Structure 1
Amino acid sequence: MKLAILLGAAMAFVAVAFGAFGAHALKDKFKEQKYADNWETACRYLMYHALGLILTGLLIHTVGESGLLTAATWCMFLGSVIFSGSLYILSLTGIRKLGAITPIGGLLQLAAWICVIIAVI
């Protein structure tokens, strides 16, 4: 599935760009250190799952279309948008209620990896 590889490459680009932006342009703008740490976590997990999407796309290309790998692709993408996106917004705004959304993204990311494991088995 070329889409998984394209989404992964785009997410990797965003992870690097946001990482650089956070380290340089936002370096002294975060209200507290924990917000800088949240930003870093968002970038790290976005990159991990960008690579996961590329892997999923390569698996689909190698073994063929699979409902589980397709589910993994979408869970990984949506989970990353929710997980990292909520942390980015939380870091910039300090709105703590956004922290309640973050675990939903994390659960989707976990579901994605379970789908990959089952598909490979």
Structure 2
Amino acid sequence: MKLFLILGVINGFLAVALGAFGAHGLEGKISEKAIATWEKAVTYQMFHTMALFVTGLLLAKFQSGGMLFAGWMFFAGIILFSGSLYIYSTTGIKTFAMITPVGGVAFLVGWILLGYAISKYL
């Protein structure tokens, strides 16, 4: 589906930009632990950007509700997991860190759904 490819492009761009910002713009402004948290957010965003691309390419060939839902779970995971870590690492507000596991679960659900759809269609 074209939408997941576009979301992949946007998230790929953002992951690179946010990675560079974390390495250069935040250095010396937040703790080393917070920088490590920021880097984890970037890493997970980029991995799941690739998942968005795979999902979009597969949806172009196979129409699957499970695969479609997997794509939305990957996108939700990026927002909830990486987004909460970006905010937490720069503000220190622990409430945001409590959102992170919800994003992790969204990632896991996305992978399960994608795996099931692949086993069904390929």
Q: Tell me whether the two structures share a fold, i.e. TM-score over 0.5.
A: yes
Uncovered stretches (5+) of structure 2, i.e. residues with no partner = none
CA RMSD of aligned residues (A): 0.7
List structure 1 runs of 4+ shifted beyond 6 angstroms: none
Cα separation, 1, equivalents of 2:9 and 2:48: 10
- Equivalent residue, structure 1, for 2:18: 18
Q: 2:83 aligns with which of 79, 82, 85?
A: 85
Uncovered stretches (5+) of structure 1, i.e. residues with no partner = none
Within 5 Å, give how 1:54-73 maps onto structure 2.
54-62=53-61, 64-73=62-71
1:97 CA displacement: 2.1
User: What percentage of residue pairs aligned between the two structures are identical?
Assistant: 46
Q: TM-score, normalising length from structure 1? A: 0.96
1:9 CA displacement: 1.0
Q: Which amino acid aligns with 2:34?
A: Y
Q: TM-score, normalising length from structure 2? A: 0.95
- Equivalent residue, structure 2, for 1:43: 42
Query: Number of paired residues?
Result: 119
- Equivalent residue, structure 2, for 1:4: 4
CA deviations on 1:33-72 (whole Å, 9 max, x unpaired) are 111000000000000000100000011112x211011000
